Chain A
Amino acid sequence: MNATPELTLLQTCLMAVIQAVCVVLFIFIIVPLTIYAERKVLGHAQDRLGATRIAGHRVGLTGWLNRGMWRMGKVPFLSYWRGLPMLVGDIAKLFLKEDIVPTKADRAIFLVAPALSLIASVVVFAAVSFYPGALFTFPKFVPVLGGVPFNGFITDMNVGLLFILGIASVGVYGIVLGAWASNSKYPLLGGLRSGAQIVSYEVPLTLSLLVPVVLTGTLNFNDMTRKLALETSPLAAPLMAVGFLVYFTCGFAETNRMPFDMPEAENELVAGFHTEYSGMRFGFFYLAEYINMVVVSALASAFFLGGPYLLPFGLHRFVQDWPVLGAPNALWYVVKMILLLFVFIWVRGTIPRYRYDQVMAVAWKYLIPFTLVLVVLAAALRFAA
């Protein structure tokens, strides 16, 4: 992308490590905030306030104002920050709880499975590009890295999209192996459902991602976002909008989120695949689910909503000459991700769970033929252009 071929091997390795740490930090900031937002948004969806209690809602000036607002019949927005310390409590609870391994469990696999799930969801970010170029350059006085650009992506690999799909498809092992290793009926049933569901939904998910691939003719993350934003014909916009809806629906199934959360349907399967897990091992599964949400939002916003370019669905070419809004900006990308994360929570609060056969029918009978038609249309459009 940018012409700095003179990086030595040491600098390359150091930059990779630094960027990986930055991405992990980003994830571990945005994930707890998503969990907090989920409490609040779900609360409001159900006509209550969500987490407000920690830090005492009756104390101090804001507490007094809040009580005044309650009396006047208004929702006391000042109490919003008061749920935030609950996150610290949650994380402390996950770390401090006893980590129980059932006696009859297959110990080695039981211990490895949550880590597999978590690693597969984090490694995806190796190919995600937040900004197509250098965010800043290290000043000359920095010891080893002086003059080295800090890119908005870790690697700019030629097969970035396939890499993401490949790594994400490994994530299912965490769930299936964890379910099997628990040596218990409900987790096994949950794991089976999850395996079948994720393998099924991977097909329409990949096919819907083929729409931008066919439209641009590349698999490179940066090239794809740039060509989608600036070089595709405006006729492709409806195709991409529909593709985005299909992709996002499949994303719900891939992350085991609410309308499709078969693996952990609590009224049928106790807690599904993680019934036997406790403490931080359960926390790994929990984190992996939320990181997968971030991944799905990141990919959806990059490949359909324009990524670092402002306007979605390839409409950005109309504003590309505008002074600030026309240039790519990592901020747009993160904002789109956060909006999509909100949609995840919104849908969870709105749509009830499907029955299992309905879930499979949606994938095989409707989404797969539909996405095939989409891909053919996209190919026709590209051939015509």
Chain B
Amino acid sequence: MVETFLAFIGRNLFLVFGLMAVGGALALVFSKNAVHSVVGFLFSMLSVAGCYLCMSAEFLAVAQLLVYAGGIVVLFLFVVMLVEMTKFKEKGLFQSQTPYALVAVAIGAAAIVGVFVSTWFTKSADVALTLDPGLARGLDVAKENSQAVSRGLFAGYLLPFEILSVILLVALVGAVTLAKKERV
């Protein structure tokens, strides 16, 4: 009795975390206060980490915690905390983009629904789909997924990975050049 109840919860934990993530995202979009938005964002990120955990992607979940919740959202909060957002509200800066944003959201939603409808009722994947099985030889991917991910990154897809990091570097250098004032 208790056993079946726990199993039921365990199976549906993903849904719980998913709904929490959606709730956080809604709070992010609809709250009037920028710091409240950031808190909603944080909540959403934590819930997404929970979702990954439910799919037994431990490494991804923890990376989500470490990178997004622990790093990026802190910087967001840092910036937002110091900016007086009321001035922007008076100018109506955020409202001017509404029609474009709606169009973009509609296209994105249609694409996501399109993808999901085709896979909605099929059998869920039990094994990793993208990793080359040759790379994961000798590994129990469900339990050792940090090793599996590292083999993917550093053995199978080393060049794309390094190119990605160069792209990040380019963004960083670009931000510095844009933000830095000319000094003679």
Contact = CB atoms under 8 A, between A and B. Distances in A.
Interface of A: 8-10, 13, 106, 108-109, 157-159, 162-163, 165-170, 172-173, 176-177, 180-181, 188, 191-192, 195-196, 199, 202, 219
Contacts of B16: none
A167 B65 contact: yes
Contact of A163 (B2, B7, B65, B81): B65
Interface string B1-13: 0110011001000
**Majority SS at the chain A contact face:** helix
Interface stretch (B33-41, B90-98, B151-159, B172-180): B33-41
B81 A180 contact: yes
Given A9-B6, A13-B6, A106-B33, A158 B70 contact: no
Chain B contact-residue range equals 20 to 34
Contact of A158 (B2, B36, B63, B143): B143
19 contacts: A9-B3, A9-B7, A9-B10, A10-B2, A109-B36, A109-B39, A158-B144, A166-B63, A166-B65, A169-B65, A169-B70, A172-B74, A176-B78, A177-B35, A180-B35, A188-B81, A199-B71, A199-B74, A202-B70
B127 to A, nearest CB: 17
Interface string B30-52: 00010110010010001001000
Contact of A170 (B63, B65, B75): B65
B36 A169 contact: no
A177 B62 contact: no
**Majority SS at the chain B contact face:** helix
Contact of A176 (B33, B71, B81): B81
B69 A170 contact: yes
Contact of B59 (A162, A191, A202): A162
A157 B53 CA distance: 11
Contacts of B54: none
Interface string B86-123: 00000000000000000000000000000000000000
Contact of A169 (B3, B66, B143): B66
Contact of A195 (B7, B58, B74): B74
Nearest first, the 8 closest Cβ-Cβ pairs linking A and B are: A169-B70, A166-B65, A166-B66, A162-B62, A9-B6, A159-B62, A180-B81, A159-B58
Contacts of B143: 158
A186 B146 CA distance: 43
Given A10-B6, A159-B146, A176-B78, A170 B70 contact: yes
A115 to B, nearest CB: 13
Given A176-B74, A176-B78, A180-B81, A162 B35 contact: no
A43 B145 CA distance: 50
A358 to B, nearest CB: 21
B13 to A, nearest CB: 12
Contacts of A162: 59, 62-63, 66, 146
Contacts of A199: 71, 74-75
Nearest to A196: B78
Contact of B58 (A158, A177, A192): A158
A363 to B, nearest CB: 15
Contacts of A166: 49, 62-63, 65-66, 69-70
B146 A177 contact: no
Contacts of B59: 158-159, 162
A169 B73 CA distance: 11
Nearest to B75: A199
Contacts of B144: 158
Contacts of A13: 6
Contacts of B35: 106, 109, 177, 180-181
Contacts of A167: 65
Contacts of A173: 42, 73-74, 77
Nearest to A179: B81
Contacts of B10: 9
B40 to A, nearest CB: 11
Contacts of B42: 173
B142 to A, nearest CB: 10
